[in-house]
Every structure is written in structure tokens, then in C-alpha cells.
């Protein structure tokens, strides 16, 4: 008699290179595909993207394998118990998550169902390396990126080939009423529908993720090291939301790069994949990364947390064009160029002295690629409180940053249209004649204030 398995999907919503699925197919199991909505920590923009991902994945399952995706809400333990009992499930399979709450929950579930006599197997399908396996010579985890990534690069040759799209699989027959409708998950905004045009920005599917990766590698990767810093150019991969939700795996991305000549662009791109790995490595070993300063000396930092300044930053009304352009791009598209992410984060934490956790929370709500590990580690890096953090005296000047990386003002003009007609020399720092918003803070005095406070932490 054929054994029956539940594949519990989370951030692994793809058919190719899905290790839990590959195992189930190899074992000839009848498969029930399950997604349980966990809204804890899920931001508004991510919910919109997740809706598209679930719709696309369910369509692929139906069209390619005549299988259904079961959508549920509620406590995972209760949902799983009910389905195990109802369908006589023999095996529970899932790909691991590395966020602290998920690790605790999944460990408890694994223990419980094993005690019930079920096979429970979990797999790494979202990272190149298990965080627990990449340790330094002292047997501890890496706290500096460069040696961490050097060690990882030495291990890349041992990564197994990605598994291809399954040709066939056995889908477990389920009741028509078993699943919620996607609309019942209430992931889309309404009243107002601030994402009404996002379908023009994002095409969301497993195939599209591969198209984006291939297009980037063929046409942009060679010049990536330099071009990636210029927000007015479309020269970044834009793969981050697809990676986060698992429409493409880092293993698939790495194997796609192997046919390309080893140059600075390829190395720079792989380093970004490495940074993602490092962030998850940090979160795994320091579970409070999202809520606690990695460097304890920051615990008494005198953040000002001025609400009025925070709101002006959020709304893109600071009076500094590159900051305002970035924050408006974020609000209007759910994404922001990486160079600008660093500039706006530095401005918030160092010029305005607003706690990095406040900024991270806003990004988490507004980004389609919001990722607990990357978001937390990157904000702490900019604030100076994190692992391998930017030195305290590195405070990005938003005017010189835009002059250097948006020299013609193309990015600013696109997102701050009221400055579109200014001369290039004025667009980075509008004069009073332009009638643009008055800067909310003096850069020099706020920089000096931050430097004094950071020095005092020593």
C-alpha cells in the first residue's frame, strides 16, 4: 500500500530543487501539498507578494500534476494533527526555516509526530549551507563576513546539483472543501488598495524567477560591481523577493553562474548571495538579532526617537532628495535600491538618532523582499551595533552620496517629480528658490552629535 506524505510548504514555493518534494517523489509517496498561513512578522507588502506566489504555485501544481495546494490558517500543530488523522498520513516532510520561533515550533512538532510513529524528515532547501555547519577554527560561529564567506567559498564545490522539475508525482486525493480559497487568507490590501499597479512591476512565478536570474547574468552581471551602486540604472538582479519566498533557490542561482567567466561582476554578485547566507548564520546563532543589539554596549545608546522626524522620513519628506526618493520608491513599489537603503538607514539612525529597530520595522512592512535575517543584520550593520558593522564614524552624507551615485539626478527626478525641472547642480541639494521641503535637520551638526555619542560608547 502506498505511503502518504504531507509536504508542509513555507518559504519554498517551487517545484524544482525542492528537497522535501524530491524525497517524497523518490519514495513514491502520495503527496498532500499544504501551506499554513503564519502572519506573525509578515509585513503588508510581503503579504501582497505572497498572494501572487501562492496563486502561481497552486496553478503550476494543478496544470503540471493535477494536484491541489491545501491552504489553511491556524496553529500548525492543530492543522497537521487533523490532516494526519483524516488522511492516514505516514510521513511529514518540510524544508527547514532558520528563524528562532520557527526553529522552536518545528523542533516541538518533529518530536511530537515522531512519538506518534510518523516519519518526520526535514531538509535544507533555502540556504547554500547549514548555519550550524559553518564554524571557525575555535568551533564557534563567524562574526565577521569576510572569513565567513571565504570559508563558504571553499565549500561551494561540495554543493549537490539542483534537482530538476519533477516529471510526475503522485498527488493525494483530497476533499474539494479541504482548502480555503486564496482570497480567504486576506493577503491583499483594500481601502485603499495601495498595490493596485504592482502587477505591472512584478510578474510572480517560478519560471519568471529563472528568467530574471538568466537575464541578469547574461546582460548585467559583468558590470555588476560598479553599476550596482547607481540607483538610476536598472542594473541589480531584483531576485530578493523570489529568493525569500523560494521561487528560486540559492543553489539554483549558484549553478546558473558556473557557465560565466570569473570576473569582478560575478564575484560581487556571489558576495551578495554570501551576505544573505551570513545574515541567516547570524540569526541562527544569535536568535535575538531582530530585537537586541548584537554589540551589548549599544544597549544604553540614547536614541531620540522623534516621532515627527520619523514620519517625515517614512513619507519621503525630509528635504534631502536622495532620502525622499528612496522612501517614495519604497512606498510606491515595495522595493528600494540597495545603495539607497544604506543611505536612508544611516540618515535615520545617525542623523536623526532613531533606533534601528524602528527603521527595520518600517522596512519589514513595506518591502516585498522583507527577510528577518537580512533586514535585521543589515540595519544593525548600518547602525554600528551589529556583527562586522560599519565603523561608527561612517555616516553617509545624503548630498554627496546622490552627487556621486546619481550624478545626473535621474533617480531623484523619477521619484521626486517636483524636482524634475531643476538643474543637475541643484537637484541634489535644492536651494530655497525651488520651494522644496526645508531640510528637517542640519547635516553637519547632526553628524557631530552622532560622532560624540558613538565615541562615548567606547
pLDDT digits (tens, 9 = 90+) for 143-180: 999 999 999 999 999 999 999 999 999 999 999 999 99
- The 10 Å Cβ neighbour count of residue 183 is 10
| Residue 382 CA to its chain's centroid (Å) | 17
The three grid cell numbers given for residue 111, joined into one nine-digit string: 518530536
Nearest to 125 by CA among 245, 27, 5: 245
278 — pLDDT class (breaks 50, 70, 90)? very high
Would the pLDDT of 417 be above 80? yes
Q: Judge whether 127-161+205-285 and 296-456 match in fold.
A: no
Would the pLDDT of 364 be above 80? yes
The pTM of this model reads: 0.97
| 413 Cβ neighbours under 8 A, 6+ residues apart | 419, 420, 427
The three grid cell numbers given for residue 83, joined into one nine-digit string: 490532516
The three grid cell numbers given for residue 301, joined into one nine-digit string: 545608546
The domain made up of 127-161+205-285 has a fold known as 1.25.40
Give the residue-averaged pLDDT of 239-265. Answer: 97
User: Residue 8, SS3?
Assistant: strand
The three grid cell numbers given for residue 306, joined into one nine-digit string: 522623534
Residue 111 — φ and ψ, nearest 5°?
Answer: -65, -45
Give the residue-averaged pLDDT of 308-318. Answer: 98
| Residue 252 CA to its chain's centroid (Å) | 17
273 — pLDDT class (breaks 50, 70, 90)? very high
The pLDDT value recorded for residue 211 is 98
Burial 346-363 (b: 16+ CB within 10 A, else e): bbbbbbbbbbbbbbbbbb
Give the residue-averaged pLDDT of 400-405. Answer: 98
| Residue 125 CA to its chain's centroid (Å) | 15
The pLDDT value recorded for residue 143 is 96
Nearest to 242 by CA among 371, 62, 379: 371
| 330/349 Cα distance (integer angstroms) | 18
Domain ranges of the chain: 4-125, 127-161+205-285, 296-456
The pLDDT value recorded for residue 404 is 98
432 — pLDDT class (breaks 50, 70, 90)? confident
pLDDT tens-digit readout, 328-362: 999 999 999 999 999 999 999 999 999 999 999 99
The CATH classification of domain 4-125, taken from the options 3.90.550.10, 1.10.357.10, 3.40.190.10, 3.40.50.620: 3.40.50.620
Cβ atoms of 428 and 399 within 8 Å: the answer is yes
The three grid cell numbers given for residue 326, joined into one nine-digit string: 528612496
Q: Per CATH, the architecture of 296-456 is what? A: Orthogonal Bundle (1.10)
Give the residue-averaged pLDDT of 184-204. Answer: 96
Looking only at the bridges linking them, the beta strands covering 119-123 and 4-9 are unpaired
Amino acid at each position: 500500500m502506498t505511503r502518504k506524505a504531507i509536504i508542509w510548504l513555507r518559504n519554498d514555493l517551487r517545484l524544482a530543487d525542492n528537497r522535501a518534494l524530491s524525497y517524497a517523489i523518490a519514495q513514491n509517496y502520495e503527496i498532500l501539498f499544504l501551506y499554513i498561513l503564519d502572519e506573525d512578522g509578515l509585513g503588508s507588502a510581503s503579504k501582497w507578494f505572497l498572494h501572487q506566489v501562492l496563486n502561481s504555485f497552486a496553478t503550476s501544481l494543478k496544470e503540471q500534476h493535477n494536484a491541489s495546494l491545501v491552504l489553511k490558517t491556524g496553529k500548525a500543530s492543530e492543522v497537521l494533527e487533523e490532516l494526519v488523522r483524516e488522511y492516514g498520513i505516514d510521513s511529514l516532510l518540510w524544508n527547514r526555516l532558520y528563524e528562532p520561533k520557527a526553529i522552536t515550533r518545528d523542533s516541538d512538532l518533529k518530536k511530537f509526530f515522531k512519538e506518534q510513529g510518523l516519519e518526520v524528515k526535514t531538509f535544507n532547501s533555502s540556504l547554500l549551507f547549514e548555519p550550524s555547519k559553518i564554524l571557525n577554527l575555535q568551533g564557534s560561529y563567524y562574526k565577521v563576513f569576510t572569513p565567513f564567506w571565504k570559508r563558504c567559498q571553499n565549500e561551494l564545490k561540495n554543493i549537490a546539483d539542483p534537482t530538476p522539475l519533477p516529471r510526475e508525482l503522485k498527488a493525494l486525493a483530497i476533499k474539494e472543501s479541504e482548502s480555503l480559497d486564496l482570497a480567504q487568507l486576506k493577503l491583499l490590501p483594500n481601502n485603499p488598495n495601495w498595490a493596485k499597479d504592482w502587477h505591472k512591476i512584478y510578474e510572480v512565478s517560478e519560471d519568471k524567477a529563472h528568467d530574471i536570474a538568466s537575464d541578469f547574468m547574461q546582460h548585467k552581471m559583468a558590470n555588476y560591481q560598479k553599476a550596482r551602486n547607481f540607483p538610476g540604472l536598472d542594473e541589480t538582479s531584483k531576485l530578493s523577493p523570489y529568493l525569500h519566498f523560494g521561487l528560486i533557490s540559492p543553489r539554483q542561482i549558484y549553478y546558473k553562474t558556473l557557465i560565466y567567466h570569473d570576473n569582478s561582476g560575478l564575484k560581487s554578485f556571489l558576495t551578495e548571495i554570501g551576505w544573505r547566507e551570513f545574515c541567516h548564520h547570524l540569526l541562527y546563532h544569535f536568535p535575538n538579532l531582530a530585537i537586541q543589539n548584537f554589540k551589548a554596549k549599544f544597549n544604553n545608546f540614547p536614541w531620540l526617537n522623534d516621532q515627527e522626524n520619523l514620519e517625515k522620513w517614512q513619507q519621503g519628506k525630509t528635504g534631502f532628495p536622495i532620502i525622499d526618493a528612496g522612501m517614495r520608491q519604497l512606498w510606491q513599489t515595495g522595493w528600494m535600491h540597495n545603495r539607497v537603503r544604506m543611505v536612508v538607514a544611516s540618515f535615520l539612525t545617525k542623523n536623526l538618532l532613531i533606533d534601528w529597530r524602528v527603521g527595520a520595522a518600517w522596512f519589514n512592512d513595506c518591502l516585498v523582499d522583507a527577510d528577518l535575517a537580512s533586514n535585521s543584520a543589515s540595519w544593525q550593520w548600518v547602525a554600528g551595533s551589529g556583527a562586522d558593522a560599519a565603523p561608527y564614524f561612517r555616516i553617509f552624507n545624503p548630498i554627496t552620496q546622490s552627487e556621486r551615485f546619481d550624478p545626473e539626478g535621474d533617480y531623484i527626478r523619477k521619484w521626486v517629480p517636483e524636482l524634475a525641472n531643476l538643474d543637475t547642480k541643484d537637484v541634489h541639494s535644492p536651494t530655497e528658490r525651488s520651494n522644496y521641503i526645508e531640510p528637517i535637520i542640519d547635516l553637519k551638526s547632526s553628524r557631530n552629535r552622532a560622532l560624540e555619542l558613538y565615541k562615548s560608547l567606547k
